[in-house]
Structure 1
């Protein structure tokens, strides 16, 4: 028990930190800040690898289902039973058009959502294990420039939509134009105090 005490204390400390929105030890993709436009930050990201899955249905429910699938992969649901470090953010964006089946089709939503976990930078496609779940795939996200607007609170679909609209409006008078769909990025676990959560909406951009 004495030998395990430091590990137990460390886990308790990390849990307390995450409750308060302190993301100690959680890797994030590196980026370069290109410009700031008020509360909007223009960032350049290098290529990075993501585990991703496409989920049909409503936005919030699709995010939860996608998270479960991807968490299964990094927590050992793969060909080598490897555990892969959790990183931030979890990304959600409109996905490909997905064929729907009942009863979900009754919602009238014929689209889907792409949920992504970004892999630790030390990995390559060759070093990552193959997912057990065929709905989970590995992909290289190419270098991109994105406009990002940060917000706190519960990351419900209504909050995402409101901040996505604010981001689009902020870009209208700038030197940047959206070049793809708006994504939502979530950095904190569900137990983090809502007012201290870090959420972001992001959209690929190009110069006018």
Structure 2
């Protein structure tokens, strides 16, 4: 099974060689609360938040790489007003141009139209105040409050590593008497240059 990522995973996807890819930190604002900790995973409640997303056909790797470049182009200034969006946190602002910190993770998930790649937008923005993208494929939307079972692991971004932990998550959910639905969400928190043993990866499954 190819890697499936949702909305989002941040800097885990490859970016064009001409584009810098500094590491992004987790947002200072708390976007979730841990409901319960199990042996191999935890259940989190996520608050509503805004995402910029693009849906692309193809396999997971191709869609993920292309989607990352499209969204990275948007935050690097390919928007009306050419506002730069910094890939570090906390959120910082200057008089002109305004800077927007990119938050993690970047996620990717399967959809009927291919794969949905998303960047979470900083909490200070609304649908009315986000810079308008020049690429019509980029869409904004608010995600509702949701509950996820999440497994966290390190290591390489390989199918085998992903599948091993997805299987572990599903078995843990079943053993806990919970029910999940929807496609797995694959979240990555680090830049490609971060050593594999220091990377933070997660898989999310929605809990009914």
Match runs of 1:1-150 below 5 Å: 18=23, 25-27=25-27, 30-84=31-85, 85-95=101-111, 97-98=112-113, 112-150=114-152
Cα displacement string for residues 98-119 of structure 1 (whole angstroms, at most 9, x for unaligned residues): 3xxxxxxxxxxxxx11101000
Shift of 1:39: 2.1
Once residues 131 and 88 of structure 1 are traced to their aligned partners in structure 2, the CA distance between those partners, rounded to angstroms, is 20
Once residues 56 and 205 of structure 1 are traced to their aligned partners in structure 2, the CA distance between those partners, rounded to angstroms, is 27
Q: Report the TM-score when normalising by structure 2.
A: 0.77
Cα displacement string for residues 147-181 of structure 1 (whole angstroms, at most 9, x for unaligned residues): 10011112233322222121111100214210221
2:17 aligns with none
Cα displacement string for residues 39-98 of structure 1 (whole angstroms, at most 9, x for unaligned residues): 201000110000001111111221111110110111111112112212110001112x23
2:183 aligns with 181
Once residues 159 and 123 of structure 2 are traced to their aligned partners in structure 1, the CA distance between those partners, rounded to angstroms, is 29
Once residues 159 and 83 of structure 1 are traced to their aligned partners in structure 2, the CA distance between those partners, rounded to angstroms, is 35
Q: Report the TM-score when normalising by structure 1.
A: 0.77
SS of corresponding position for 2:125: coil
Over aligned residues, Cα RMSD in angstroms?
1.6
Bigger radius of gyration: 1
Once residues 152 and 45 of structure 1 are traced to their aligned partners in structure 2, the CA distance between those partners, rounded to angstroms, is 22
Once residues 30 and 88 of structure 1 are traced to their aligned partners in structure 2, the CA distance between those partners, rounded to angstroms, is 11
Once residues 26 and 204 of structure 2 are traced to their aligned partners in structure 1, the CA distance between those partners, rounded to angstroms, is 20
Count of residues in correspondence between the two structures: 171
